[in-house]
Structure 1
């Protein structure tokens, strides 16, 4: 690749085209502008994709049909040199070309360079632009990507947050802003969500911003129907939980929660309104936590319904190990204070060790080791009680 770029730059350095005023882009475009070269009868697109772009033979065969109009390496050479100037690695080039072969036929001077110049004016660095390209190579060939990035950047608060959203769904850059995204954002604001909350929704459930506005309105109605009104602290979490669930699916999950945790209609309503995340937990996970919390720990279903956050924590890595430690302390008369179970579970790891392990180093020198063992999935005999 380095030898290729060197030969391209040597061959193309004399070309002259109009470029943006940004000096670095000027130099980059000057070095990668494609001159007019007569068709090369020996040029084979498929071989070029394999030998120069790093695609597999199967990928090249598939991609070559979309580049059959190329008669010489002039234009793709210029694109590759331009991408190299942005810092795109040869590995990433192969990925990009496999996803969007027509990127190689884009015009550097009329398409890629102006887009890069405008994105730079928005405050994106070359590495940022390279990342953006990796998320959406097809959209990168459209000038509309600039206006979309310009809209999303203040909404998400930073380029990093925008990239987090694009990681889950680059389709955000392909949807119509005026007809879809903006109406959804405006409606969510009317529902009491601030831009920070909307950005979090966009990162976690990007499709909520890009789906049909009527569908978003239905999600809001569903959240309200489950007992979480607009403007409440849990509203965003409920929207995230019910996103793209149909009414039948939600009803089935509510019924499963009732049976699994032995809740009444009132209790399941309380639990869901305080812990909407439960709607997205797998049945297996919910069943395991119900068995442990009710059958082994002995918690009342009503207690769990009022404090459903404990269901979010890892059973094997947090809930079960802490339960065994506290049970050991109580059995041996080492724990004077009567901590509630939810307080024990929600305490940070640092606080738990400070409160439940460190004070007993002399009376139970093995406790820290045993606790670590349980976190790894092994329960020492000392922590097992009939």
Structure 2
């Protein structure tokens, strides 16, 4: 049977029009004799020898396939998957994830689904990806109508597959009863189609959540004071997607105390950078200690420039701040630069503006900056 698996998975049908079952029958006749009427089909051995599962995986999967009496249907399913271009490793992972996929009818279910998805414009490799990511949904004919709805929502098959990789369960949600009401709630908040697609990629569970849960999330985002319909409202929704109202209140209070903000200042900061809420308390404490205690920045400044609190402290903020501190101390800055501007610019712009012009005056600056970005912060940047 191992030889059969190798044949199946390395000789897919030559064209979309070629049905996998006749090809499988030819392989079967050359690979091994059929199971005799009196013998018992060993499901666990089949999963190991033919599907490539480990013995532990096969033991677990076999409990869901105890009704199988013959390899005929599983063989046809394997040939179908080979026709999609799945490798032996892909097939093993799919079967381990959803053993009942081997029970799907090729003629009755899988082939019509393949035809339907091809009709939607999906390539064979994309269809294979859908099968790998969401095998349970794939073996239901409703997957065709579901993808027909989701493709325009995500704007491309590539984006849809990224969303499916993050959260496979939305494909099994009812578009009419669940998804469309949620999308309508977002539209009522002034979120445009492109931003809805981006939000669904960032928070794909939105598509399968109960509308009541989405309403709670919208209420939490509203409490931040971010105007509905603004470009930042999508980020506010992403920031609060895993927070209850109680956790949100506690997080806001922590930020207020950590950065010594007034009520007005914490409101300003959250409206400008709601994604601060996704950072851990320990991370925000470290940023407060560095930016306020060590660099001497005012709390009010950070409230009006909270982007500094959303960037990597060790990989970006600290190294750049130390470069500027060094340049100021040695009279090498020809104009006033705010720290907010310094941490926001791209890496290329930062190097071209603050490192390259000082190669002669500070020949070690580039080396020290690179070391700082790797977390090897020198006690002091060397001047000569």
The two structures have a TM-score, normalised by structure 1, of 0.92
Aligned residue among 303, 306, 321 for 1:305:
303
Query: 2: CA distance between counterparts of 1:384 and 1:147?
Result: 64
Aligned residue among 324, 327, 330 for 1:326:
324
Match of 1:71 in 2: 69
Query: How far off its partner does 1:3 sit?
Result: 3.3
SS of residue in 1 equivalent to 2:16: helix
Match of 1:18 in 2: none
Aligned residue among 113, 117, 126 for 2:115:
117
Match of 1:24 in 2: 16
Pair 1:86–1:23, CA change in 2 (3 A): closer
Query: How far off its partner does 1:30 sit?
Result: 4.0
Match of 1:41 in 2: 39
SS of residue in 2 equivalent to 1:357: helix
Pair 1:330–1:244, CA change in 2 (3 A): closer
Matched-pair contact (CA < 8 Å) for 2:220–2:248: no
Match of 2:157 in 1: 159
Pair 1:52–1:159, CA change in 2 (3 A): same
Query: How far off its partner does 1:49 sit?
Result: 0.6
Match of 2:353 in 1: 355
Pair 1:7–1:258, CA change in 2 (3 A): closer
Matched-pair contact (CA < 8 Å) for 1:38–1:72: no
Where do residues 1-386 of structure 1 align in structure 2 (5 Å cutoff)? 3-4=3-4, 24-32=16-24, 39=37, 41-383=39-381
Query: 2: CA distance between counterparts of 1:40 and 1:337?
Result: 90
Match of 2:31 in 1: none
Query: How far off its partner does 1:221 sit?
Result: 2.0
Query: 1: CA distance between counterparts of 2:274 and 2:380?
Result: 37
Query: 2: CA distance between counterparts of 1:40 and 1:216?
Result: 57
* CA-to-aligned-CA distance 1:155-189 (integer Å, 9 cap, x gap): 10111110111111111111111110011112211
Query: How far off its partner does 1:23 sit?
Result: 6.3
* CA-to-aligned-CA distance 1:311-369 (integer Å, 9 cap, x gap): 11111111111111111111111112110110111011111111101111111111111
Gaps of 5+ in 2: 29-33
Query: How far off its partner does 1:230 sit?
Result: 1.3
Matched-pair contact (CA < 8 Å) for 1:122–1:150: yes
Matched-pair contact (CA < 8 Å) for 1:237–1:276: yes
Query: 2: CA distance between counterparts of 1:43 and 1:160?
Result: 41
Gaps of 5+ in 1: 14-21
Matched-pair contact (CA < 8 Å) for 1:29–1:113: no
Matched-pair contact (CA < 8 Å) for 1:152–1:162: yes
Query: 1: CA distance between counterparts of 2:90 and 2:329?
Result: 59
